[in-house]
Amino acid sequence: MIPVLTIDGPTASGKGTVASRVAEALGFALLDSGALYRLTALSALEAKLALDDANAIAALARALPVQFAADQILLAGRPVQDAIRQEAIGNAASKIAALPAVRAALVELQHSFRKTPGLVADGRDMGTVIFPDATLKVFLTASVQARAERRYKQLIDKGFPANMLALLQDLKERDARDTERAAAPLKPAEGAHLLDTSDMTIEQSVAQVLDWWHHRSGTQ
Ligand code: CDP
> pLDDT tens, 27-57?
999 999 999 999 999 999 999 999 999 999 9
Q: What is the pLDDT of residues 52-96, one digit of tens each?
A: 999 999 999 999 999 988 789 999 999 999 999 988 999 899 999
Pocket test for ligand 1, best of 7, 33, 110 (most atoms within 8 A of CB): 33
CA distance 126 to 37: 13
pLDDT of residue 219: 67
Cα 218 to ligand 1 centre (Å):
31
Domain contains 219: no
The minimum-distance atom of ligand 1 relative to the CA of 110 is 23
Number of domain units in the chain: 1
pLDDT of residue 71: 83
Angle at 88 between CA 144 and CA 95, to 5 degrees: 75
Cα 40 to ligand 1 centre (Å):
11
Does this model's pTM top 0.85? My answer is: yes
Structural domain of residue 71, as residue ranges? 4-214
Domain contains 160: yes
Pocket test for ligand 1, best of 37, 45, 179 (most atoms within 8 A of CB): 37
Domain contains 98: yes
pLDDT of residue 15: 93
Is the C-beta atom of 181 inside 6 A of ligand 1?
A: no
- Angle between helix 87-96 and 164-180 (nearest 10): 10
Q: How many CB atoms lie within 10 A of CB 164?
A: 12
Average pLDDT, the chain: 94
Reference 128, options 175, 178, 192, 181; nearest CA is 192
Domain contains 180: yes
Domain contains 17: yes
pLDDT more than 90, % of the chain: 84
CA-closest residue to ligand 1 atom 11? 94
Query: Is pLDDT at 220 greater than 70 in this prediction?
Result: no
pLDDT of residue 218: 78
Domain contains 220: no
SS3 127: helix
Quick one: pLDDT band at residue 160, thresholds 50, 70, 90?
confident
Is the C-beta atom of 174 inside 6 A of ligand 1?
A: yes
Tell me the CB-side half-sphere exposure of residue 181, using CA atoms within 13 A.
19
Is the C-beta atom of 123 inside 6 A of ligand 1?
A: yes
- Angle between helix 87-96 and 33-46 (nearest 10): 100
Name every residue whose Cβ is closer than 8 Å to that of residue 73 and which is 6 or more positions away in sequence: 35, 39, 66, 67, 79, 80, 81, 84
Domain contains 74: yes
Q: What CATH number corresponds to the domain at position 121?
A: 3.40.50.300
Is the C-beta atom of 33 inside 6 A of ligand 1?
A: yes
